[in-house]
């Protein structure tokens, strides 16, 4: 997709979900807004419903009052003007994704979700104005102040894929004195990206894969633009006070990014680019809790049965990453702290870190 | 899987006492009830009124009364006993049993005297009094029938019960029982001849007798200790026994000089309250122990007492508090209920907004942590905006190491705003004001009261707000007829509340709301009327002169604490089913009036049919109607309107017999579980038999936006904060009693230092925006399922069910499933 053209107007954006009291999207307690649309489509993505820029239908069998019954309640099927919904002989709901997507192009359609009494059929993606989103995210202000730099994170999807909406939301939040973080994959036009920076306290930046060909295989795009934007961001931060800080994050995915050479090379890249005020580099262990989400979107997921990382492997990869970092001169800049996070599998001697 | 909390670091003495305690009925010694009689054929012991708030024992009340009567041992009465007034008879009888009849046991390695105190003493009635008591309690329109009828029809329950106060322990420590006794004598001397002959004189004489009970009991224990010491020869135990005797030579008659004397004085004074009320530990609470015991700890420390020695003494105190549960030890591991609550309060604000955490606070927290899991005494830690990092760190450490936080957290600013509100509403601003409100302490579970002069009946009235929604639908009648489970007889539906009209005829929401308002006024009147029955009987027939010595106002007024003698004496109506009621109103408005998903007739048919055949409508009520607890301003506005309505109705009433004003609170004990089987299906999608909502918590599963939004909703309905209208600073709190709020977290919330800091931030945010009290569960669903499968291996696993700790394996399968469902907000 063309990341430079916003899918919606300045006032409105498509929000996948708001998570209050998030403890995993930056420092302190945070409210995180996940915005729809992402220029990448990472094979291991744990928010697969965030990739598409359009609203998508999701059916949760456990909530459906008719699941597994012969006749069913039928409200969703009857409500769909595009005939995109049908029940299969097992009682499960089948979604014709192409028909639904075509209908969404003509304007958001959520008739099936409105008809469903049980909340089993949902249309993922809700329109918010920037001011309504900022109001919602500011509701936990009392909780932000009790923690070190608690606040709001815009994540996704890719928040910068709706740049005007993201910018306006961040601007409103900064106006209320709220700490802001932007979680980005780094794929965006430079103009869009840096237009957000004056309103961002903390940048959360993903570096997933050092080998561009592998990056393209895993995510759909090479890593050149990410590295170029990171370099330009380093220069920007050298001459601007915002963003105030950066964290780099690397997803460690089994049989993909979990190679010592990858961590070593990413470490070297971080050392070479030497972003000012880079505080930490986190290695995030692969998480399989999203397998159910793929099923609900009728998507195959090649990682559905992948085991969790083992703690000793995370330790080993962390060491490789540190060796990469050590190649830097780090003159005028501090080397970031580096650690791994997330759940790991059995036989590791460590439950969680 | 998380590991089960184990005690650690205990001295051999405390370790032995603790494990001995958990041997339960196999212990060989216990503190079960013994019953005592005057020997008259009409005598009885059991005051069943104290159990009207425990509906699960209604069927057993008769059996309990006769078992005590049959096992009662006679006490030889003093000459002239029957010429005395009832309070004097009772004072003499209880003292006689405690000092001359009940065995005085010394337990292995114990450093504190005062082992047996669970007694059922004669009500000391004359034949005439017995007959009148019987008529009032068991007569056709008596208190028992009224209480059971009220409960059967889903309104809740009420009864004048014991405890639930902080007695004036601090005063006993300061002036000794000797000082209390001298004051009573001086006061009696000032009475006119006419007053001495009247009820005032009788009451003060009774209290004067009671004021020597602790002295005489201590003297008897001291003598026994010396005899035992002689027998023990030159063993270390002999020295301990001699030291105990020396302590008892002084306290509780004289003021203590050191820590050991203070704890001994405190324990004897406390246990005799439970003896006097014939009820073990029903919220008889210690108050701010880390404040008033500090001088004694400092004195002992200066004389060389180590922390280990202090913990040895406190370990013995812990043991004794738990023996309250021996009362009905033959009915099961914890007796009939885990619902006692000898609360201790730690930390909190002092004068000039100063944090009062001290060395003793930390010592108590260490003892709690090392002894845990154990039920009593129940700790409550007071937090506020300025709580130190050090205390929060300790609190989080302890939460991390236990399955449920081994304490409740009380939040000062919100709580104190409620106490200030109570001062205004009750016209007692001279007794509760900005310069003393920080002295408040919770009792029982989390019910806020003042200290040493306050009995506010914090568990006496428990009202199902949801009943008013049902009555608004039907125009003042039960939705379904009541069938007696024993006889199988079905009652005809009668007009109970005001005839507010058939809801099917209402054309708009305003009409329904007006009906609801009228029915709320009615159910509040109904519980006030029910309560009056037991309150007036207690005032006339069940004096507690010993406890009255410890409550300021009783000696001054010459009225027993049961007659409203306390300076501060509210009766608390605890609203139950709050969120269920609010969500039902939201659903009615949404389904019938806003969205027109159904007619009122269809909705009422669905409720009568318990949703059978109306599954789609039920799903809509559950999933599409707004809910309280999500920080949704529109839904929370409805919740606030309900809150304002029922609070205003509650403040309007006073007891007739004792002149006590009613005040609002929210504590649901276990009623939200049990009454779920009694109350008809509700419009929020709940089926009959499903649990109701608990205290101020959102309905089960409704808080889909997580702990912060849940807490924001709670803070909002309590009144939030207002720059110009606040009652304490800018804080408002319409529930002076406080409100029980439970949130369950997954233990991974505390997995590393960074996340622990985030959890501390949650607690700091709660002080800003949350409620009055918070119970934190840290539960791992895997562990709970394992505990269901292998209960014998999890006997000590404590969970918080509502305002109290209970052993998970003892709470019944339904409640276990409920706790598991709540773990991590159902996301597991």
Give the model confidence (pLDDT) of A132-178 as tens digits.
999 999 999 999 987 789 999 999 999 999 999 999 999 999 999 99
- pLDDT at residue B486 is higher than 60: yes
DSSP string, A9-50: -SSEEEEEEEEEEESSSSSSSEEEEEES--S---TT-S-GGG
Nearest CB to B762 within list A29, A65, A118: A29
Higher pLDDT: A31 or A61? It is A31
The alpha-carbon gap from B732 to the nearest alpha carbon of chain A, in Å, equals 16
The alpha-carbon gap from A21 to the nearest alpha carbon of chain B, in Å, equals 6
Q: Among 3.30.70.20, 3.40.50.720, 3.20.20.60, 3.30.930.10, what is the CATH number of A56-124?
A: 3.30.70.20
Contact (CB, 8 A) for A86 and A73: no
The alpha-carbon gap from A146 to the nearest alpha carbon of chain B, in Å, equals 5
Q: Where in chain A is the domain with CATH 3.20.20.70?
A: 12-53+126-352
Contact (CB, 8 A) for B280 and B162: no
Q: What is the pLDDT of residue A1?
A: 40
Nearest CB to B748 within list A28, A139, A352: A352
User: Is-cis flag, bond preceding B252, omega within 30?
Assistant: yes
Residues of A in contact with B755 (CB under 8 A): 23
CB contact under 8 A, B765 and A28: no
Q: Where in chain A is the domain with CATH 3.30.70.20?
A: 56-124
- pLDDT at residue A7 is higher than 60: no
Q: Confidence band (pLDDT; 50, 70, 90) for B806?
A: low
Distance CA B181, CA B187 (A): 10
DSSP string, B731-742: B--S-TT-B--E
Nearest CB to B631 within list A65, A139, A144: A139
Chain B residues with at least one Cβ partner in A under 8 Å: 615-617, 619-620, 622-624, 631, 705-709, 712, 748-749, 751-752, 755, 757-758, 760-765, 767-769
CB contact under 8 A, A118 and B748: no
The alpha-carbon gap from A310 to the nearest alpha carbon of chain B, in Å, equals 17
CB contact under 8 A, B751 and A353: yes
Contact (CB, 8 A) for B807 and B333: yes
Q: What is the pLDDT of residue A23?
A: 87
Task: From A279, A290, A280, A339, select the one nearest A311 (Cα to Cα).
Answer: A339
The β-bridge relationship of strands B773-778 and B742-745 is parallel
Interface mutation target, options B597, B621, B709, B747, chain A, most CBs of A under 10 Å? B709
Q: Which residue of A has its CA nearest to B764?
A: A146
- pLDDT at residue B757 is higher than 80: yes
CB contact under 8 A, A20 and B706: yes
Task: From B398, B675, B524, B543, select the one nearest B91 (Cα to Cα).
Answer: B543
Q: What is the pLDDT of residue B485?
A: 84
Place of tokens 């063309």: A2
Say how far residue B688 (Cα) sits from the centre of its chain: 27
Contact (CB, 8 A) for B443 and B568: no
Percentage of chain B beyond pLDDT 70 is 95
Distance CA A137, CA A32 (A): 8
CB contact under 8 A, A117 and B707: no
- pLDDT at residue A261 is higher than 70: yes
For A10-44, b where at least 16 C-beta lie within 10 A, e where not — what string?
eebbbbbbbbbbbbebbbbbbbbbbbbbbbbebeb
Q: What is the pLDDT of residues B210-267, one digit of tens each?
A: 999 999 999 999 999 999 999 999 999 999 999 999 999 999 999 999 999 999 999 9
Distance CA B282, CA B47 (A): 14
Percentage of chain B beyond pLDDT 90 is 83
Distance CA B118, CA B274 (A): 7
3-state SS, one letter per residue, for B69-132: HHHCEECCCCCCHHHCCHHHHHHHHHHHHHHHHCCCCCCCCCCCCCCCCCEEECCCCCHHHHHH
Higher pLDDT: A89 or B577? It is B577
Average pLDDT over residues A75-89: 94
CB contact under 8 A, A140 and B765: yes
Q: What is the pLDDT of residue A188?
A: 97
Q: Which residue of A has its CA nearest to B597?
A: A117
CATH code of the domain occupying A12-53+126-352: 3.20.20.70
Contact (CB, 8 A) for B438 and B382: no
Q: What is the dihedral of CA A75, A80, A81, A85, to 10 degrees?
A: -120
CB contact under 8 A, B757 and A147: yes
Contact (CB, 8 A) for A144 and A29: yes
Q: Confidence band (pLDDT; 50, 70, 90) for A350?
A: very low
- pLDDT at residue A347 is higher than 80: no
Q: What is the pLDDT of residue B656?
A: 98
Place of tokens 């780090």: A330
Q: What is the pLDDT of residues B125-155, one digit of tens each?
A: 999 999 999 999 999 999 999 999 999 999 9
Interface mutation target, options B708, B720, B749, B751, chain A, most CBs of A under 10 Å? B708
Chain A residues with at least one Cβ partner in B under 8 Å: 18-21, 23, 28-29, 63, 65, 73, 75, 117-119, 139-140, 142-148, 150, 352-353
Distance CA B541, CA B373 (A): 39
Residues B749, B751, B754, CA angle at the centre, nearest 5°?
85
Residues of A in contact with B765 (CB under 8 A): 29, 140, 142-147
Q: What is the pLDDT of residue A353?
A: 38
Task: From B810, B812, B808, B684, select the one nearest B823 (Cα to Cα).
Answer: B808
- pLDDT at residue A344 is higher than 90: no
Q: What is the pLDDT of residue A296?
A: 84
Q: What is the pLDDT of residues B713-755, one digit of tens each?
A: 999 999 999 999 999 999 999 999 999 999 877 777 787 888 8
CB contact under 8 A, B620 and A29: no
Q: What is the pLDDT of residue B401?
A: 79
The β-bridge relationship of strands A337-341 and A278-285 is parallel
Average pLDDT over residues B687-715: 92
The alpha-carbon gap from B828 to the nearest alpha carbon of chain A, in Å, equals 10
Measured over the CA atoms of residue B692, residue B698, residue B703 and residue B706, the dihedral's sign is: negative
Length of chain A equals 353
Average pLDDT over residues A293-300: 87
Average pLDDT over residues A299-303: 91
Measured over the CA atoms of residue B629, residue B632, residue B638 and residue B641, the dihedral's sign is: positive
- pLDDT at residue B2 is higher than 80: no
Show the tokens assigned to B8. 């650690």
What is the ipTM, given to two decimal places? 0.92
Interface mutation target, options B2, B387, B619, chain A, most CBs of A under 10 Å? B619
The alpha-carbon gap from B333 to the nearest alpha carbon of chain A, in Å, equals 35
Task: From A210, A208, A228, select the one nearest A219 (Cα to Cα).
Answer: A208
Q: What is the pLDDT of residues B277-332, one digit of tens each?
A: 999 888 999 999 999 999 999 999 999 999 999 999 999 999 999 999 898 887 65
pTM of the predicted model, to two decimals?
Answer: 0.94
For A336-350, b where at least 16 C-beta lie within 10 A, e where not — what string?
bebebbbbbbeebee
CB contact under 8 A, A117 and B616: yes
Interface mutation target, options A18, A21, A314, chain B, most CBs of B under 10 Å? A21
Q: What is the pLDDT of residue B793?
A: 66
Show the tokens assigned to A319. 């060491």
CB contact under 8 A, A20 and B768: no
**Cβ neighbours of A276 (radius 10 Å):** 18
Q: What is the pLDDT of residues B548-581, one digit of tens each?
A: 999 999 999 999 999 999 999 999 999 999 999 9
Q: Which residue of A has its CA nearest to B715?
A: A142
Percentage of chain A beyond pLDDT 70 is 92
Phi, psi for residue B143 in degrees, rounded to 5: -65, -35
Residues of B in contact with A143 (CB under 8 A): 708, 761-762, 765, 768-769
Average pLDDT over residues B190-197: 98
The alpha-carbon gap from A118 to the nearest alpha carbon of chain B, in Å, equals 5
Q: What is the pLDDT of residue B808?
A: 74
First to last CA, chain B: 13
Distance CA B804, CA B818 (A): 16
User: Is-cis flag, bond preceding A108, omega within 30?
Assistant: no
Q: What is the pLDDT of residue B160?
A: 97
Q: Which residue of B has its CA nearest to A115?
A: B620
Residues of A in contact with B712 (CB under 8 A): 139-140, 142
Average pLDDT over residues B434-449: 96
Cα separations (Å) of B325 from B101, B328, B335, B793?
21, 7, 6, 21
How many CB pairs below 8 Å do chains A and B form together?
A: 86
Q: What is the pLDDT of residues A40-50, one digit of tens each?
A: 999 999 889 99
CB contact under 8 A, A28 and B617: no
Q: What is the pLDDT of residue B701?
A: 76
Task: From B452, B313, B440, B285, select the one nearest B378 (Cα to Cα).
Answer: B285
CB contact under 8 A, A119 and B763: no
Distance CA B369, CA B366 (A): 5
DSSP 8-state assignment for residue B592: I
Nearest CB to B761 within list A73, A118, A143: A143
Phi, psi for residue B736 in degrees, rounded to 5: -60, -35
Q: Confidence band (pLDDT; 50, 70, 90) for B801?
A: low
Q: How would you class B446 by CB atoms within 10 Å of its CB: exposed for 0-12, middle for 13-18, buried for 19 or more?
A: buried
- pLDDT at residue A5 is higher than 60: no
Return mean pLDDT, chain B. 93
Interface mutation target, options B630, B758, B783, B824, chain A, most CBs of A under 10 Å? B758
Residues of A in contact with B767 (CB under 8 A): 146
The alpha-carbon gap from A281 to the nearest alpha carbon of chain B, in Å, equals 15
Measured over the CA atoms of residue A298, residue A301, residue A307 and residue A312, the dihedral's sign is: negative
CB contact under 8 A, A20 and B708: yes
């Amino acid at each position: 997709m063309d990341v430079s053209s916003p899918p919606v107007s300045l006032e409105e954006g498509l929000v996948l979900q708001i998570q209050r009291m998030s403890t995993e999207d930056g420092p302190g307690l945070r409210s995180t807004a996940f915005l729809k649309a992402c220029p990448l489509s990472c094979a291991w993505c744990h928010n697969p419903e965030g990739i598409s820029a359009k609203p998508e239908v999701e059916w949760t069998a456990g909530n459906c009052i008719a699941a597994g019954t012969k006749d069913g309640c039928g409200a969703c099927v009857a409500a769909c003007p595009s005939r995109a919904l049908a029940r299969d002989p097992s009682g499960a709901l089948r979604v014709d994704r192409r028909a639904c997507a075509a209908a969404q192009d003509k304007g958001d359609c959520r008739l099936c979700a409105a008809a469903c009494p049980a909340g089993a059929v949902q249309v993922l993606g809700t329109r918010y104005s920037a001011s309504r989103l900022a109001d919602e995210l500011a509701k936990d202000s009392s909780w932000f102040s009790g923690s070190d730099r608690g606040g709001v994170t815009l994540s996704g999807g890719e928040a910068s894929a709706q740049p005007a909406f993201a910018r306006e939301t961040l601007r409103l939040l900064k106006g209320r004195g709220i700490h802001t973080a932007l979680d980005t994959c780094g794929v965006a036009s430079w103009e869009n990206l840096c237009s957000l920076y004056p309103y961002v306290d903390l940048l959360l930046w993903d570096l997933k894969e050092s080998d561009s060909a592998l990056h393209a295989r895993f995510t759909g795009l090479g890593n050149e633009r990410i590295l170029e934007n990171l370099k330009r961001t380093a220069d920007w931060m050298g001459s601007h006070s915002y963003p105030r800080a950066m964290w780099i994050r690397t997803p460690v995915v089994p049989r993909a990014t979990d190679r010592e050479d990858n961590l070593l090379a990413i470490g070297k890249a971080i050392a070479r680019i030497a972003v000012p005020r880079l505080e930490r580099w986190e290695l995030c262990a692969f998480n399989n809790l999203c397998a159910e989400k793929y099923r609900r979107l009728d998507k195959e997921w090649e990682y559905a049965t992948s085991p969790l990382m083992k703690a000793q492997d995370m330790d080993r990869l962390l060491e490789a990453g540190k060796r990469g970092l050590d190649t830097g001169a780090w003159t005028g800049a501090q080397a970031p702290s580096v650690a791994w996070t997330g759940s790991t599998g059995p036989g590791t001697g460590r439950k969680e870190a | 899987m998380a590991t089960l909390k184990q005690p650690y670091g205990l001295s051999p003495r405390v370790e032995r006492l603790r494990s001995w305690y958990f041997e339960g009925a196999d212990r060989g010694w216990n503190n079960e009830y013994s019953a005592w009689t005057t020997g008259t054929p009409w005598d009885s012991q059991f005051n069943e009124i104290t159990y009207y708030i425990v509906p699960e024992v209604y069927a057993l009340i008769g059996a309990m009364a006769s078992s005590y009567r049959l096992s009662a041992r006679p006490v030889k009465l003093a000459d002239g006993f029957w010429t005395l007034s009832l309070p004097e008879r009772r004072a003499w009888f209880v003292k006689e049993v405690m000092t001359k009849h009940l065995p005085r046991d010394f337990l292995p390695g114990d450093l504190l005297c005062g082992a047996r105190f669970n007694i059922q003493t004669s009500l000391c009635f004359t034949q005439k009094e017995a007959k009148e008591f019987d008529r009032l309690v068991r007569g056709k329109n008596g208190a028992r029938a009224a209480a059971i009828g009220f409960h059967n029809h889903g309104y809740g329950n009420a009864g004048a019960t014991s405890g639930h106060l902080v007695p004036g322990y601090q005063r006993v420590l300061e002036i000794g029982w000797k000082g209390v006794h001298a004051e009573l004598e001086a006061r009696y001397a000032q009475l006119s001849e006419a007053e001495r002959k009247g009820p005032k004189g009788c009451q003060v004489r009774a209290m004067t007798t009671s004021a020597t009970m602790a002295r005489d009991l201590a003297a008897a224990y001291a003598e026994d200790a010396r005899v035992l010491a002689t027998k023990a020869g030159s063993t270390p135990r002999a020295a301990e026994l001699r030291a105990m005797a020396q302590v008892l030579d002084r306290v509780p008659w004289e003021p203590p000089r050191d820590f050991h004397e203070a704890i001994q004085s405190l324990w004897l004074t406390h246990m005799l309250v439970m003896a006097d009320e014939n009820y073990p530990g029903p919220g008889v609470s210690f108050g701010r122990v880390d404040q008033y015991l500090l001088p004694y700890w400092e004195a002992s420390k200066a004389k060389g007492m180590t922390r280990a020695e202090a913990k040895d003494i406190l370990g013995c105190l812990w043991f004794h508090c738990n023996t309250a549960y021996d009362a009905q030890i033959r009915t099961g591991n914890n007796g009939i209920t885990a619902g006692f609550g000898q609360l201790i309060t730690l930390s909190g604000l002092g004068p000039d907004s100063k944090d009062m955490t001290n060395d003793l606070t930390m010592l108590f927290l260490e003892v709690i942590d090392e002894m845990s899991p154990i039920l009593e005494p129940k700790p409550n830690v007071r937090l506020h905006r300025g709580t130190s990092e050090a205390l929060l760190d300790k609190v989080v450490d302890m939460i991390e190491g236990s399955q449920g936080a081994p304490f409740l957290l009380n939040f000062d600013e919100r709580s104190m705003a409620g106490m200030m509100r109570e001062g205004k509403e009750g016209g007692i601003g001279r007794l509760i004001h900005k310069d003393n409100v920080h002295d408040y302490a919770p009792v029982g579970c989390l019910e806020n009261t003042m200290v040493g002069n306050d009995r506010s009946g914090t568990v006496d009235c428990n009202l199902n707000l949801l009943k008013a929604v049902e009555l608004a639908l039907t125009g003042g009648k039960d939705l379904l007829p009541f069938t007696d489970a024993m006889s199988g007889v079905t009652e005809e539906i009668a007009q109970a509340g005001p005839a507010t009209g058939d809801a099917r005829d209402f054309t708009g929401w305003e009409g329904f709301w007006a009906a609801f308002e009228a029915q709320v006024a009615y159910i509040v009147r109904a519980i006030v009327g029910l309560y009056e029955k037991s309150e007036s009987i207690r005032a006339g027939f069940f004096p507690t002169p010993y406890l009255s010595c410890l409550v300021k106002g009783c000696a001054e007024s010459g009225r027993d604490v049961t007659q409203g003698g306390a300076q501060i004496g509210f009766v608390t109506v605890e609203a139950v089913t709050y969120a269920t009621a609010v969500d039902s109103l939201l659903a009615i408005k949404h389904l019938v009036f806003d969205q027109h998903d159904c007619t009122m007739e269809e909705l009422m048919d669905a409720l009568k049919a318990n949703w059978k055949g109306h599954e789609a409508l039920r799903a809509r009520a559950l999933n599409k109607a707004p809910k309280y607890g999500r920080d949704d301003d529109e839904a929370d506005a409805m919740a606030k309107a309900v809150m304002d309505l029922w609070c205003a109705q509650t403040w309007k009433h006073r007891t007739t017999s004792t002149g006590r004003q009613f005040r609002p609170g929210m504590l649901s004990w276990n009623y939200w579980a049990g009454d779920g089987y009694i109350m008809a299906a509700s419009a929020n999608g709940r089926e009959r038999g499903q649990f109701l909502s608990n205290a101020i918590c959102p309905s089960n599963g409704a808080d889909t936006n997580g702990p912060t939004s849940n807490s924001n909703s709670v803070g909002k309905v309590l009144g939030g904060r207002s720059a110009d209208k606040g009652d304490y600073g800018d804080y408002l709190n319409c529930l002076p009693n406080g409100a029980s709020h439970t949130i369950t977290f997954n233990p991974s919330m505390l997995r590393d230092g960074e996340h622990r800091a985030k959890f501390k931030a949650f607690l700091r945010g709660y002080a800003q925006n949350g409620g009055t009290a918070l119970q934190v569960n840290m539960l791992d669903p895997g562990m709970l399922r394992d505990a269901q499968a292998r209960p014998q291996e999890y006997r000590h696993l404590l969970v918080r069910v509502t305002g109290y700790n209970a052993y998970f394996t003892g709470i019944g399968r339904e409640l276990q499933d409920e706790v598991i469902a709540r773990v991590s907000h159902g996301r597991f």
